[in-house]
Amino acid sequence: MWARLVLIVSRLRFAWSRRRVDDEIRGELEAHLALLADRYVHSGMTPEEARLAARRQLGSVRAIREEIYDMNSLPFLDTTAQDLRYATRLLRKNPTFALVAMLTLALGIGANAAVFQLVNALRLRSLPVDRPYELVSVGIDQHGKGRVGRGYAGRSIFTEPLWQEIRSQQQAFSSLFAWGNGGWDLSTEGEVVFGRGLYVSGQFFDALGVRAHAGRLLTEADDRKGCGSPGAVLSYAFWQARYGGNPGAIGQTITLDRRRFDVIGVAQPGFFGVEVGRAFDVALPLCAEPLIRGPQPATGRRDAWWLDIIGRLKPDWTLERAQSHVAGMSPDIFRATVSPSYKPEIAKAYTSFTLTATSAATGVSNLRNAYATQLWVLLGATGLVLLLTCANLANLTLARSSARGREIAVRLAIGASRRRIVRQLLTESALVSGLGAAGGLLLARWISQTLVSVLKLGPAPVFVDLTPDWRVFAFIVAAAVLTCLLFGLSPALTATRRDPAATLDPGGRSPTDRHQAARLRRALVVVQVALSIVLVVGAVLFARTLRNLAAVDLGFDPRVVLASVDLRRTTVPPEARAGAFAAIAARIRDVPGVRDAAETLIVPLSGGDWNSRIVKGGVAQEGDVHFNEVGGHYFRVMGTPLLAGRSFDDRDRPDTVRTAVVNETFARRHFQQVDPIGQTFQMDLPPGAPQPVYHIVGLVKDAKYLAVREERTAAIARFSARESSSMFLPIAYLPVSQNTMPPPDFRIVVRADVPLASLTRALTPAITEAAPGAAVAYDAVANYIDALLVTERLIAWLSGFFGVLAMVIAAIGLYGVMSFLVTRRRTEIGVRMALGAEPRTVIRMVLADSGRLLACGVVIGVGLAIPAARYAASLLYGLPPSDAASFGLGISALVLVSLVAAWIPARRASRLAPAAALRE
Amino acid sequence: MAKGAGERTDVLQGTLDLMVLKTLETMGPLHGYGIARRIEQMSDDLLKMNEGTVYASLMRLLQRRWISSSWGASENNRRARFYAITASGRRQLTKETENWGRIAGVMARLLRAAERS
C-alpha cells in the first residue's frame, strides 16, 4: 500500500516536470554515447566506426526516451487533460449552449450556496473561540414560559439573583459566565448615536479563551458589586470603525449613555460575542448595569430577566451529566430566588422551573429560531431551481448528443469503448458544471450579503459572519458534482447505447434507439413542468401573502415620525417628567410643518410591550390585556378614530379618578353586551402594590400593537399567559398625565407635512429648548412595518424570481422537445399533409402531444406543491396553503407560457412542404 | 571471448533492476555509464543488452525511491548524474536477493528433475 502511494506520488512529481526530466535523460544518453565512442576510438576504431558501434551498444535514444516519458505519465491525467481540451473546443464551437448552461448553473448553484451560507453561518458554524464544543448553554425548560416580570430585549432568560445562585452552586463547569445585551448611546449631547453593548460577567473573555488584541480584557477583578465606573472593552470591528484602529484609544474615555468609561482594551479580531446574528461594540462588566440603567437597575431584582448563561464543561463531564446536575439543583435555586412581588400561583409556577443544559458550540441565536422555516423554505426553493436547471441541461445535452450521434457512432465503430466515450461526455458535463460552480461561488457571496442586509433585526444591524469556510466550499463542490452527474450521466449513457451500424446507415433510422432518447427527453420535460409548478405556485402564494399583509388595516396611519426623548441626564426630577413630556409635545406642535404631536410610552409595532391581566368586579379575567400610556393628542396623531366617549385632556390629573380609553377588542372581550363607557377595571397587580380603579372614558377603533400579523405574536410575547387568536389585541390606553413616576425615556409621535430629514433639523432645537440636556433619537413608524414585513417581502421577491425562472426554463425545455419531436416526425407529418391533413390538424396534433406532457407534469407538480405549501403554511397570510385560486393562477400561467412555447414548433410543422419532407 | 548474438542471454527487466541495485550497493554512487561498464565487466560480456535500458531501469528505481540521484562531475570533468542506493533500496535489495536465491534453487531443482525424466 505504502509502496504504491510512493510510486503514485513520485510519478506525479516526475509527470509534473517530465519535459525537464526528458532533457536530462537526453543529456545523459548523449554523454553515455560520447564515452562509449571514446572507448572505441581508444581501442583503435575510426571516429566514424566508433560512433556507429556506440549507437549499437546503447540502442535507440528515441526509444529509451519514449519509454521513460511514458513511465513518467499518469494515463488517467493524460486522458482527462485530452478530454478537457476537446470539451473546451466543443463548447467554444457552441457558445450559446455553453452560455445558457453556465449561466443557469451559476444562478442555480449560486442561489443554493448563498442560502446554504446563511444556514451555515446561523446553524452550523462553531463560535470563533477556544474549544467551542465544550461550551454549554444553561436555560430553563420550555424556554421558561410563564416567567413574570420585566423582560429586556432579546432572548435573555435569567435574573441576576438566579445567576448568582447558579454560579455558586454548580459543579459541572470549569468556568461559567453570564451576559446581557444593552443598547447604549455613544453621543455626548443631542441626538442619540446607538451602540451595541454587552454586559459580561468577569469570566466571560477568559472562559471563551478570547485574547486581547490590544490593552487588556475584563477579568473577575473588574466585575465586583458596586464597582462604580469600570473599564470598557471594545470589539475589534468597532475599534477599527470608530478609532481607525488607533492604539491610542486605549486609556481614553468613551461616553456610554452619557457616562464616561475608560477604554481598557480591544478584543481579538473576529470575536463578535456568543449570540449569532448580533455583534457587540462595547462590553462592560455586569456590575456597571446599575450605573447605566440608573435608578431602576435590573441587578438584584428577582423579576428582571436580562441575562444568559454559558459555561465550559469540566474535562471529565459529559453534557448528559451536566444536564442532570443542573436539573437536580433547580428546586433549591428557584425556591431561593422567588420574587416577593409574585402571587402564590405565579410563585408556584416559578419554583417548578427546571434548569437545562444544551450545547452552545455554535453559539446561541435569536435569528436562528426566528428564520428557521424561512431559511429551509428558501433552501428548498433554490434546491428545486437547481434540479430544474439540471433537468433542462440534461435535455440540452441529450439534444446535443443526438446531433453528435454520427460522431459517437463512428468512434464506437472504430473501436472506442463505450466507457471511454461516456467518460469523455461526462468530462464535458464536468467542465460546464465546474465553470457554473465557479460562477456560483462569485454570485453566492453577493446574494448572501444582500440577504443579510435585508434581514434586519430592530435597530441593531444583523451581524452574520459570511466568510466562506470548508462547509460552503464542500457544498458547492458537492452541488457541482451532483449537477454534473444529474445532467450528464443519462444523456451520455443513452447516446452511447445506440447501434453504430444503424446510425451510420445513411438513409436508415434506428427506431428503438431514437425512441429511447425521445422517451427520456419527454420524461425530463414532465419533471421540469412538475418542479416549475411547485415554484410558480409558491411564488403566487407568497406574492398574495405580501399583498394581503400590505393591505392589512393597521388601525392607524403609519406615516408618523417618531422622536425618542431621554431625560435621564437632565435636571428634570422624576415627578415632573409627565409635565416635561407634555411640554415637549406642545413645543413640537409649534414647529412649522408639524400638524400634531403626542407623547406615548409604547409605539405600536416597535416591539415594545406592556401587558397584564385585568380584574373586573374583583375577579381576575382570562387573557392578557396590552397597555399603553399616551397623551391626549395620541389618537389624533395616529389617525385612530375615537368611536365613543372622549380622549384624555386636562381633566385627567394625578389627583382625579384614574381614566382609560379602550379599543373595540377590549370592549368586546370584557364588556360583551354593555356600553364600556363608564365601566371600571383594575390591573392584576401583586398584593401590596396600589390597586387603582380605571374608569373607561373612551372607546377607540382597533389598532395593531405588536405585529402586523397580530395572531402570530402569541409565540413571540413570552410573557403572555394566554394566546390571542384574533386579528387585534385588546388594548387599554392610560393617560400619561396621571402617572406620577413615568420612566425617563419617552416617545413623541409627530404627524408632519415635511419629510423626516428636514423635520429633525427643526425638532432637535425645539426639544432641547423645552428640556435642556435631553437625548433624542428619530425614526419613522413606517420603518417598523417595513422591518416586520421584510422577510415576507424577501421571500415573495425571491420566490417570484425563482417562479419566473422556472417558467422560462420549463418553456425552453418544452420548446426543445417539441422541436425535436416535430423534426423526427417530419416524414410522418409530410405524409399526412400529402394525404390532405390541414395545417390546423397538424398544429392540434403537436399541441395535443405537448398537452399530454403538460398534464402529466401538472398532476405530479400539484402533488408535490400541496405538501410543500403545507410546510410553509406559517409563512402565509390570509390564505390557506391549498388556496385554489393561487394554484389555479400558477398552473394557468405555466400552461399558457408552455403552450406558447409548444406552438412555435407546431406552426413550423404545419408549414412543412410535404414534398420536401417526403424526399428525405 | 566473443560469442554469437544468438547465444547472448536476454536480460529480464526485473533482473536488470536487481543488477543495477546491487551494483550501486557495492560500488557506491555511479553514473549510468559506470553502471553499464560494471555490469558488462561482471558478466564477462555474457550478458548483452542495449545499454540505454539501464536508464529506464534507473527511472523505475527512482520512482520507487530505492535510489536517489544528484548532479556531479564525472571523471573527465563533465556534468553527470550520479545515482546512489537509499535505505529503502537496501532493504529491497536484501528482500530481492533472498527471493532470487529461492527462485534460482527452485529453477535448478525443476530443470534437473526435467532432465532426469
Interval B61-87: pLDDT, tens: 988 889 998 888 777 677 788 999 999
Residue where a domain terminates, one of A508, A527, A552: A508
Looking at per-residue pLDDT, the higher value among B86 and A271 belongs to B86
Of residues A3, A25, A59, nearest to B51 (C-beta): A59
Which of chain A's residues have a Cβ under 8 Å away from the Cβ of B53? 59, 64
Which helix (H) or strand (E) covers residue A749, if one does? strand A745-752
What pLDDT, on a 0 to 100 scale, did the predictor assign at position A336? 87
Q: Are residues A384 and A332 in the same domain?
A: no
What pLDDT, on a 0 to 100 scale, did the predictor assign at position A366? 56
Q: Are residues A301 and A381 in the same domain?
A: no
Q: Contacts by A296-301 with C-beta closer than 8 Å and gap 24+?
A: A298/A150, A298/A152, A298/A159, A298/A160, A298/A180, A299/A160, A299/A225, A300/A160, A300/A161, A301/A149, A301/A150, A301/A159, A301/A160, A301/A161, A301/A339
Chain B CB within 8 Å of residue A5 CB:
no
Residue A806 covered by a domain: no
**Closest-approach residue (CA) in chain B for A68:** B56
Residue A633: pLDDT over 80 = yes
CB A276 within 8 A of CB A363: yes
- To 10 degrees, what angle do helices A839-871 and A826-834 make? 140
Q: Are residues A62 and A183 in the same domain?
A: no
Distance from CA of A45 to the nearest CA of B (A): 17
Q: What percent of chain A has pLDDT above 90?
A: 13
CB A659 within 8 A of CB A694: yes
Which of chain A's residues have a Cβ under 8 Å away from the Cβ of B50? 57-60, 64
Buried b (16+ CB within 10 A) or exposed e, A195-219: bbbbbbbbbbbbbbebebbbbebbe
Q: pLDDT class for A155, splitting at 50, 70, 90?
A: low
Which of chain A's residues have a Cβ under 8 Å away from the Cβ of B33? 31-32, 35-36
The answer to whether A32 contacts B64, with C-beta atoms less than 8 Å apart, is no
Residue B2 covered by a domain: no
Mutate to test the interface with B, among A56, A57, A62 (most CBs of B within 10 A): A57
Of residues A10, A31, A36, nearest to B63 (C-beta): A10
Sort strands A693-700 and A642-645 into parallel, antiparallel or unpaired: antiparallel
What pLDDT, on a 0 to 100 scale, did the predictor assign at position A105? 83
Q: Are residues A671 and A712 in the same domain?
A: yes
What pLDDT, on a 0 to 100 scale, did the predictor assign at position A718? 34
- To 10 degrees, what angle do helices A470-497 and A95-119 make? 140
What pLDDT, on a 0 to 100 scale, did the predictor assign at position A337? 87
Expressed in angstroms, the distance from the first to the final Cα of chain A is 61
* Phi/psi of residue A175, nearest 5 degrees: -150, 150
Q: pLDDT class for A658, splitting at 50, 70, 90?
A: very high
Sort strands A253-256 and A259-267 into parallel, antiparallel or unpaired: antiparallel
Q: Residue A444: CA atoms inside 13 Å, Cβ hemisphere, count?
A: 31
CB B92 within 8 A of CB B86: no
Residue B1 covered by a domain: no
What pLDDT, on a 0 to 100 scale, did the predictor assign at position A514? 61
What is the arithmetic mean of pLDDT over A541-560?
A: 86
Distance from CA of B44 to the nearest CA of A (A): 16
Of residues A59, A71, A72, nearest to B50 (C-beta): A59
Question: Structural domain of residue B110, as residue ranges?
Answer: 8-116
Chain B CB within 8 Å of residue A63 CB:
yes
Q: pLDDT class for A600, splitting at 50, 70, 90?
A: very high
What pLDDT, on a 0 to 100 scale, did the predictor assign at position B3? 35
Q: Are residues A767 and A738 in the same domain?
A: yes
CB A646 within 8 A of CB A658: no
Residue A49: pLDDT over 60 = yes
Beta bridge partners of A430: none
Q: Which amino acid is at A628?
A: N
Which of chain A's residues have a Cβ under 8 Å away from the Cβ of B31? 28, 31
Residue B3 covered by a domain: no
**Closest-approach residue (CA) in chain B for A39:** B37
Q: Are residues A95 and A15 in the same domain?
A: no
Chain B CB within 8 Å of residue A54 CB:
no
Q: Are residues A772 and A634 in the same domain?
A: yes
Distance CA A744, CA A747 (A): 10
Sort strands A659-663 and A693-700 into parallel, antiparallel or unpaired: parallel
What pLDDT, on a 0 to 100 scale, did the predictor assign at position B12? 55
Residue B116: pLDDT over 80 = no
Residue A547 covered by a domain: no
Task: Quickly tell me which residue has 392610560 as its cell.
Answer: A734
Residue A721: pLDDT over 70 = no
Our count of domains for chain A comes to 4
Q: Which residues contact A705 (CB under 8 A, 6 or more apart)?
A: A602, A604, A605, A609, A626, A628, A728, A729, A731
Which helix (H) or strand (E) covers residue A340, if one does? none
What pLDDT, on a 0 to 100 scale, did the predictor assign at position A694? 93
Our count of domains for chain B comes to 1
CA nearest neighbour of A701 among A726, A667, A735, A677: A667
Distance CA A439, CA A417 (A): 34
Interval A386-419: pLDDT, tens: 888 888 888 878 777 777 777 888 888 888 888 8
Distance CA A775, CA A759 (A): 17
Interval A165-199: pLDDT, tens: 998 888 888 889 998 888 788 887 777 777 888 89
Of residues B63, B78, B80, nearest to A7 (C-beta): B63
Chain A contacts in chain B segment 18-77 (CB below 8 A)? 31-33, 36, 50-53, 55-56, 59-60, 62-65, 74, 76
Distance CA A489, CA A503 (A): 21
What pLDDT, on a 0 to 100 scale, did the predictor assign at position A125? 63
Chain B CB within 8 Å of residue A33 CB:
no
CB A535 within 8 A of CB A711: no
What pLDDT, on a 0 to 100 scale, did the predictor assign at position A81? 82
Task: Quickly tell me which residue has 387599554 as its cell.
Answer: A732
Residue A887: pLDDT over 70 = yes
**Closest-approach residue (CA) in chain B for A18:** B59
User: Residue A130 has what DSSP assignment?
Assistant: S
Which of chain B's residues have a Cβ under 8 Å away from the Cβ of A71? 56, 59-60, 63
Chain A CB within 8 Å of residue B91 CB:
no
* Phi/psi of residue A263, nearest 5 degrees: -80, 120
Q: Which amino acid is at A276?
A: V
Q: Are residues A735 and A618 in the same domain?
A: yes
Residue B95 covered by a domain: yes
* Phi/psi of residue A620, nearest 5 degrees: -70, 135
CB A806 within 8 A of CB A111: no
Tell me the helix, strand and coil percentages in chain B, rounded to 5.
Answer: 60, 15, 25
The answer to whether B65 contacts A6, with C-beta atoms less than 8 Å apart, is yes
Looking at per-residue pLDDT, the higher value among A634 and A16 belongs to A634
Distance CA A808, CA A821 (A): 20
Which of chain B's residues have a Cβ under 8 Å away from the Cβ of A35? 33, 76
Beta bridge partners of B77: none
Which helix (H) or strand (E) covers residue A511, if one does? helix A511-550
Task: Quickly tell me which residue has 470589539 as its cell.
Answer: A235
Residue A98 covered by a domain: yes
Question: Structural domain of residue A339, as residue ranges?
Answer: 132-361
What is the arithmetic mean of pLDDT over A253-259?
A: 85
A612: helix, coil or strand?
strand
The answer to whether B56 contacts A67, with C-beta atoms less than 8 Å apart, is yes
User: Is the complex ipTM more than 0.85?
Assistant: no
Q: Where are the alpha helices (DSSP H) in A43-94?
A: 47-58, 61-71, 75-93
Q: Are residues A193 and A273 in the same domain?
A: yes
Which of chain B's residues have a Cβ under 8 Å away from the Cβ of A4? none
Query: Domain of B80: which CATH number?
Result: 1.10.10.10
The answer to whether A64 contacts B52, with C-beta atoms less than 8 Å apart, is yes
Which of chain B's residues have a Cβ under 8 Å away from the Cβ of A32? 32-33, 36, 51-52
What pLDDT, on a 0 to 100 scale, did the predictor assign at position A597? 93
Residue B104 covered by a domain: yes
User: What does the DSSP assignment read for A456-523?
Assistant: -BTTBPPB------HHHHHHHHHHHHHHHHHHHHHHHHHHHHS-HHHHHSSS---HHHHHHHHHHHHH
Q: Whole-number mean pLDDT of chain B?
A: 81
CB A263 within 8 A of CB A251: yes
Residue where a domain terminates, one of A759, A787, A815: A787
Residue A463 covered by a domain: yes
Residue B69 covered by a domain: yes
What is the arithmetic mean of pLDDT over A750-762?
A: 84
Q: Are residues A115 and A153 in the same domain?
A: no
CB A472 within 8 A of CB A117: yes
Interval A565-593: pLDDT, tens: 888 778 888 888 888 889 999 999 999 88
CA nearest neighbour of A723 among A712, A737, A709: A712
Q: Are residues A354 and A380 in the same domain?
A: no
Cell readout for A54 is 556506440
What pLDDT, on a 0 to 100 scale, did the predictor assign at position A367? 58
CB A25 within 8 A of CB A64: yes
Residue A840 covered by a domain: no
The answer to whether A68 contacts B59, with C-beta atoms less than 8 Å apart, is yes
The answer to whether A32 contacts B51, with C-beta atoms less than 8 Å apart, is yes
Q: Are residues A680 and A722 in the same domain?
A: yes
User: Residue A599 has what DSSP assignment?
Assistant: E
Residue A708: pLDDT over 90 = no
Distance CA A706, CA A41 (A): 106
